[in-house]
Structure 1
Amino acid sequence: MKFLTPLAVQLAALASMASATVPGFDISHYQATVDFAKAYADGARFVIIKATEGTTYTDPSFSDHYTKATNAGFIRGGYHFAQPASSSGAAQANYFLKHGGGWSADGITLPGMLDLEYAPSGDSCYGLSASAMVSWINDFVNTYHAATTQYPLIYTSTSWWQLCTGNNGSFGSKSPLVIARYASSVGALPNGWSVYTIWQNSDASPWGGDNDIFNGNLAQLQKIARGS
């Protein structure tokens, strides 16, 4: 008999309820004013909020967004924009944990999200080889897990993952996938994941920021927030 890990159980459940979805969105200080009450009334139930970048930047709107999202009844969490060229994965995970990226099993806090995407400077992979990038991600993911008992969500696109990790397949058994693809279908997933947890399908959410779709029902989303 094959015994499934807790994450594998979550992913299998998600796959079995593919027709059930929950709307949400992700934001940063670029969305200075968000009407969380309206978003909740419209049916959105989760929001992911930028907390940190590298080891020197904290988003100035994080605390305000997080408090207002909580008061409006949202399941919410923070995200960290990775800067792999500037410091180690462990250093950035610890900075994230100290500035909004923590987790508690309260049913309303998502594990933190590691945002891995093309470098704003134009150097797609931050000057790292595929093996160095995989090591950096492992450093971040394992540091976060050691501190919280949860693996962080990983946000990326299939194209970035193929280019910058060599399409490494070792993270699908740990971190839930937040896939970025602005199209009518999610398309091919990065190696290692057979199912996605959240699909960012547009950069124009009706409530501000990017539009997200959770691949499951509300009870499953709450389970992830509880860590069970």
Structure 2
Amino acid sequence: MDVATTVRRLPRRLLTILLSAIMAVGTLAVLSSPASAEPTTNANPEGIDVSHYQGAINWSSVRAAGIEFAWIKATESTTYKDPRFGANYTNAYYAGVIRGAYHFARPGQSSGATQANFFASSGGAWSADNLTLPGALDLEAGCHGLSQTSMRNWILDFYNTYKARTGRDVIIYTTASWWSSCTGNWTGMATRSPLWVAHWGVSSPNVPTGFPTWTAWQFTDNGRVNGISGAVDRNHFNGTRARLLALANNTP
């Protein structure tokens, strides 16, 4: 007897239950993304951050090498868009890498609000899809001619605008020395933004005064990862994979 004949002979109530079960399985398959399919107890997930300097990236190989998250350069100032951002952002997603965008700040060139809007409109926005981190604000390369008070105001302007656009707190990327020199160890972001700290060649990073702890730590600028031909920045996440997913999904 063929399958079609068997199905036609099933009692109507049993057939309804069977079809409902098939639909439920299909729905679960759609909802179970690569990010959520893995154990959430994995401690200190490994990550990278990239830009066009890394050239073409094989994101499937990157993911297979154990990289779970990435920040990808999207913009700089108010006119520059990284030429590889679109490919990196899309391919990382389909490889199951939890990724977010970052903006290289140029505070001496325009207001924080102007740069936040440019960033949010050029790939830095956020969506609750289990694979998108909040955007990051890259603060480095000197104080850009601003006083400490002006820099504080600029950062807050960027933060407020980005949050109004996306509903998320922007991640702050910086070093302890930059934060001290350019903001005077400002405490104003401690309860607002997670910290992504850069400190290479040490066993534990110096946390900038003004932040309680680090969320991500860029521990080298000379890492190696399968799928990337040259050197790449590498990062640790401070917590389990469950906490990484909570950061991505804006959940407790």
Same fold (TM over 0.5): yes
Task: State the shift of 1:183 in Å.
Answer: 2.0
Q: Which residue of 2 aligns with 1:149?
A: 167
SS at match of 1:168: coil
Structure 1 stretches of 4+ with a deviation exceeding 4 A read none
Mapped partners of 1:73, 1:105: distance in 2 = 15
Q: Which residue of 1 aligns with 2:149?
A: 131
Please tell me whether residue 69 in structure 1 is matched to residue 79 in structure 2.
no
Mapped partners of 1:181, 1:40: distance in 2 = 24
Structure number with bigger Rg: 2
Point out where structure 1 has 5 or more consecutive residues left out of the alignment: 1-18, 119-123
Please tell me whether residue 91 in structure 1 is matched to residue 109 in structure 2.
no
Q: Which residue of 2 aligns with 1:47?
A: 70
Written as runs of structure 1 = structure 2, the 5 A alignment for 1:174-193 is 174-193=192-211
Check whether the contact 2:170–2:194 (CA below 8 A) recurs between aligned residues.
yes
Task: State the shift of 1:205 in Å.
Answer: 2.5
Q: Which residue of 1 aligns with 2:218?
A: 200
TM-score by length of 2: 0.79
Please tell me whether residue 223 in structure 1 is matched to residue 249 in structure 2.
no
User: How many aligned positions are there?
Assistant: 205
Task: State the shift of 1:184 in Å.
Answer: 2.1
Point out where structure 2 has 5 or more consecutive residues left out of the alignment: 1-41
User: Relative contact order (C-alpha < 8 Å, sep 6+): which is higher?
Assistant: 1
SS at match of 2:160: helix
Mapped partners of 2:204, 2:149: distance in 1 = 26
Task: State the shift of 1:150 in Å.
Answer: 0.8
Check whether the contact 2:120–2:166 (CA below 8 A) recurs between aligned residues.
no
Mapped partners of 1:76, 1:60: distance in 2 = 17
Identity %: 48
User: Which one has the bigger helix percentage?
Assistant: 2
Q: 2:59 aligns with which of 33, 36, 39?
A: 36
TM-score by length of 1: 0.87
Q: Which residue of 1 aligns with 2:123?
A: 100
What letter is aligned with 1:154? I
